[in-house]
Amino acid sequence: MGIESPRTFAERDAREQRRVELDGEVESYAKIRENVFAQMLDEKRKKKYKWFLRGIGALKLVTDTKEQAGVIENFYVAMRYIDDVVDGDVKPPEGYTPIQYVKEKIEFVETDRPPKDDIEKLISLSFRLGTEFGHDYHEDAKDIIGSLLFDAERRGTHTIFDEKTLHDHFYALDIKGTIKGALKVVGENMNLYEVIEPLGEAVRIYYNLRDFRDDIQAGLVNISSEDCERFHITKDTLKSGGYATHMGVHAWFIDQAKKGLALMDEYHKKKEGVTMRPATEATLKLGFERKAKSFMTAVAAGKFEKILGKAA
């Protein structure tokens, strides 16, 4: 066994000391997270957040270090909060519009200035924790928050975008931001990014179909201009609520569900012979694939009246 040099010993000691300090900071941020959740929770959304909290708990179980668990605990809570501001579920701070609030968070990520509020503190801590296991989360944060800004700016407008614009928006949010970031944080092989990509796109289709009515009422249209033309869907049809009985919208639902199921088949083909952690595979199957596949199978068979007619 070699003798440890004074320099190596000092570096190791400094690293261990820094980790102890970060572990303590993660614990001290528990109160901040509680305050954030208190602003996010209400009776109507408790069920929704029950599953979000369970998801965070499950991801924490597959991490190797406290630093990785800390990123999950803080980063995803912060992103969820910003998303809630965009959705109108949480009021932005006094003096801010949702757009101004999201732009400020992008500016914070780009400049690394001192945090102004609890959300920025959670993001800052996540960045510092990430450096301890060799990952930089700045780009992941920019992808996610940038996509949330896109939603904030189009909210209430019923603007219809072309297929590429919508694809790029959701790709940055779901694939580059969320999936790639999650692979980093659980210590998986980053080559899995290519394998899981079709599943990510399929799950996005599931979200768009499941939340269709709520999105339309909020002025968010996730039907591309190409599909609107193909299925004879107009902005007036969507704004007036006529989508519930519109045959073109029905056809689009079935078309999207079949596309999502085909993407899941593609995911399984790409996954053949690929090794991933059992916990990662279980999380993907139980947390994402199973519900999305069951839902889209029903939609592909024409069972979606409740989604269009009333809250699902």
121-130 pLDDT per residue, tens = 999 988 988 8
Mean pLDDT value of segment 228-238: 97
Same domain, 149 and 191: no
Picking from 140, 155, 170, the residue at the C-terminal end of a domain is 155
Which pLDDT score, from 0 to 100, does residue 80 have?
87
For the cut 70, the answer to whether the pLDDT of residue 254 exceeds it is yes
Q: Which helix (H) or strand (E) holds 104?
A: helix 98-111
Whether 135 maps to a domain, the answer reads yes
Q: Could you tell me if 117 and 229 lie in one domain? A: no
Tokens of 197: 């990509």
Provide the residue type at 195 as one letter: V
By residue range, what is the domain housing residue 239? 187-312
Whether 214 and 277 map to the same domain: the answer is: yes
Residue 265 lies in a domain: yes
Alpha-carbon distances, residue 99 vs 61, 102, 132, 151 (angstroms): 35, 5, 32, 9
Between the alpha carbon of residue 111 and those of residues 54, 69, 120, 145, 165, the distances in Å are: 33, 25, 12, 14, 27
What is the pLDDT at residue 232? 97
> Does 247 map to a domain?
yes
**8 Å CB contact between 117 and 129:** no
Q: Does any domain span residue 299?
A: yes
Q: What is the pLDDT of residues 69-100, one digit of tens each?
A: 777 778 888 998 899 899 888 889 899 999 99
* pLDDT the model gives residue 311: 39
Mean pLDDT of 11-35: 68
At residue 130, the pLDDT reads 84
Angle at 76 between CA 278 and CA 36, to 5 degrees: 140
Contact 177, 225 (CB under 8 A): no
Task: Tell whether 144 and 193 lie within a shared domain.
Answer: no
Asked whether residue 176 is domain-assigned, the answer is: no
Q: What is the tally of structural domains in the chain? A: 2
Tell me, yes or no, whether 166 lies in a domain: no
Per-residue burial over 226-262, b if 16 or more Cβ lie within 10 Å, else e, is: ebbeebebeeebbeeeebeebebbbebbeebbeebbe
Same domain, 115 and 194: no
144 contact partners, CB below 8 Å, separation of at least 6: 79, 172, 173, 177, 178, 181
Q: Is the pLDDT of residue 16 over 90?
A: no
Q: Does residue 131 form part of some domain?
A: yes
Rg of the Cα atoms in the chain: 21
The pLDDT of residue 18 is 67
Q: What is the arithmetic mean of pLDDT over 279-291?
A: 83
Check pLDDT > 50 for residue 1: no
Share of the chain above pLDDT 70, in %: 79
Q: How far apart are CA 207 and CA 230, in angstroms?
A: 22
Domain boundary among 101, 132, 155: 155
| CA dihedral for 28, 31, 34, 40, sign (positive or negative) | negative
Mean pLDDT (the chain, rounded) = 84
* Ramachandran class of 113: left when φ > 0, alpha when ψ lies in -120 to 50, beta otherwise: beta
pLDDT range class, residue 49, cuts 50, 70, 90? low
137 and 18 part of one domain: yes
- Pair (207, 275) in one structural domain: yes
Q: What is the mean pLDDT of residues 147-168?
A: 96
Residues 133 and 197 in one domain: no
Identify whether residues 54 and 130 lie together within a single domain.
Answer: yes
What is the number of other CB atoms lying within 10 angstroms of the CB of residue 300? 18
Q: Which helix (H) or strand (E) holds 144?
A: helix 138-154
**Is 63:72 a contact under the CB 8 Å cutoff?**
yes
Predicted confidence (pLDDT) per residue in 181-227, tens digit = 777 766 777 778 889 999 999 999 999 999 999 999 999 999 999 99
Whose CA is closest to 300, among 253, 230, 243, 237?
Answer: 253
Whether residues 204 and 144 fall in one domain: no
Residues written for the chain: 312
| 73 and 201 part of one domain | no
Say yes or no to pLDDT of 30 above 60.
Answer: yes
For 29, 85, 247, the CA distances from 39, given in Å and listed in that order, are: 16, 10, 41
Query: Which range among 22-31, 114-123, 213-222 shows the weakest confidence by mean pLDDT?
Result: 22-31
Looking at mean pLDDT, say which of 7-11, 28-32, 163-167 comes out highest: 163-167
- Residue 286 lies inside a defined structural domain of this protein: yes
Q: CA-CA distance, 212 to 224, in Å (whole number)?
A: 13
Q: Are residues 53 and 102 in the same domain?
A: yes
